[in-house]
Amino acid sequence: MKLAFRWYGEDDKVTLENIRQIPGMQSIVTAVYDVPVGQVWSRESIGRLKELVEKNGLGFDVIESIPVHEDIKLGNPSRDEYIENYCENIRRVAEAGIKCICYNFMPVFDWTRTQLDHVLPDGSTTLVYYQEQIDKVDPLESKSDMTLPGWDSSYTRDELKDIVKEYNKLTEEQLWDNLKYFLKRIIPVAAECNVNMAIHEDDPCWSIFGLPRIITNEKNLDRFLSLVDDVHNGITLCTGSLGCSKKNDVVKMAAKYAAMGRIHFAHIRNVAVLDNGFEERAHLSSCGSLDMYEIIRALHDNGFNGYIRPDHGRMIWGETGRAGYGLYDRALGAAYLNGLWEAVEKS
Ligand SMILES: [Mn+2]
Q: How confident is the model at residue 150 (pLDDT cuts 50, 70, 90)?
A: low
**Superfamily grouping for domain 2-346:** Divalent-metal-dependent TIM barrel enzymes (3.20.20.150)
What's the mean pLDDT when you consider all of the chain? 94
Distance 142 CA to ligand 1 centre (A): 30
Q: pLDDT above 90 covers what percent of the chain?
A: 84
Quote the CA–CA distance of 38 and 224 in Å, as a whole number.
Answer: 22
- Whether 160 has a pLDDT exceeding 90, the answer reads no
Specify the pLDDT at position 145: 55
Quote the CA–CA distance of 106 and 200 in Å, as a whole number.
Answer: 9
Specify the pLDDT at position 224: 98
Specify the pLDDT at position 315: 96
Q: Which residue has the higher pLDDT, 153 or 321?
A: 321
Distance 77 CA to ligand 1 centre (A): 30
Region 42-68: mean pLDDT is 97
**Of 87, 193, 238, 287, which is the active-site residue?**
238
- Whether 207 has a pLDDT exceeding 90, the answer reads no
Cα radius of gyration rounded to whole Å, the chain? 19
Quote the CA–CA distance of 347 and 337 in Å, as a whole number.
Answer: 15
Q: Is 267 a catalytic residue?
A: yes
**Of 232, 264, 267, 300, which is the active-site residue?**
267
Range of weakest confidence among 68-77, 130-139, 234-243: 130-139
Distance 99 CA to ligand 1 centre (A): 18
Q: Where are the beta strands (DSSP E) in the chain?
A: 2-6, 27-30, 59-64, 100-103, 115-119, 125-130, 196-200, 233-238, 263-268, 270-274, 277-281, 307-310
- Whether 140 has a pLDDT exceeding 90, the answer reads no
Angle in degrees, 0-180, between the axes of helices 292-301 and 250-259, rounded to the nearest 10: 10
Q: Is 200 a catalytic residue?
A: yes
Residue 234's φ and ψ, nearest 5 degrees, are -130, -165
Quote the CA–CA distance of 105 and 107 in Å, as a whole number.
Answer: 6
Q: Is 70 helix (H, G, I), strand (E, B) or coil?
A: helix
Q: Is 8 a catalytic residue?
A: no
Quote the CA–CA distance of 6 and 44 in Å, as a whole number.
Answer: 20
- Whether 67 has a pLDDT exceeding 90, the answer reads yes
Specify the pLDDT at position 111: 86
- Whether 27 has a pLDDT exceeding 60, the answer reads yes
Specify the pLDDT at position 66: 97
Summarize pLDDT for 297-343 with one digit per residue, the tens: 999 999 999 999 999 999 999 999 999 999 999 999 999 999 999 99
Specify the pLDDT at position 146: 53
Q: Is 325 helix (H, G, I), strand (E, B) or coil?
A: coil
Which residues are registered as beta bridge partners of 29?
6, 62
Summarize pLDDT for 227-260 with one digit per residue, the tens: 999 999 999 999 999 999 999 999 999 999 999 9
Q: Is 264 a catalytic residue?
A: no
pTM, two decimal places: 0.95
Quote the CA–CA distance of 144 and 119 in Å, as a whole number.
Answer: 25
Distance 314 CA to ligand 1 centre (A): 14
Q: How confident is the model at residue 153 (pLDDT cuts 50, 70, 90)?
A: low
Specify the pLDDT at position 169: 87
At 91, which helix (H) or strand (E)? helix 79-95
Q: How confident is the model at residue 291 (pLDDT cuts 50, 70, 90)?
A: very high
Specify the pLDDT at position 161: 82
Specify the pLDDT at position 157: 76
Specify the pLDDT at position 168: 87
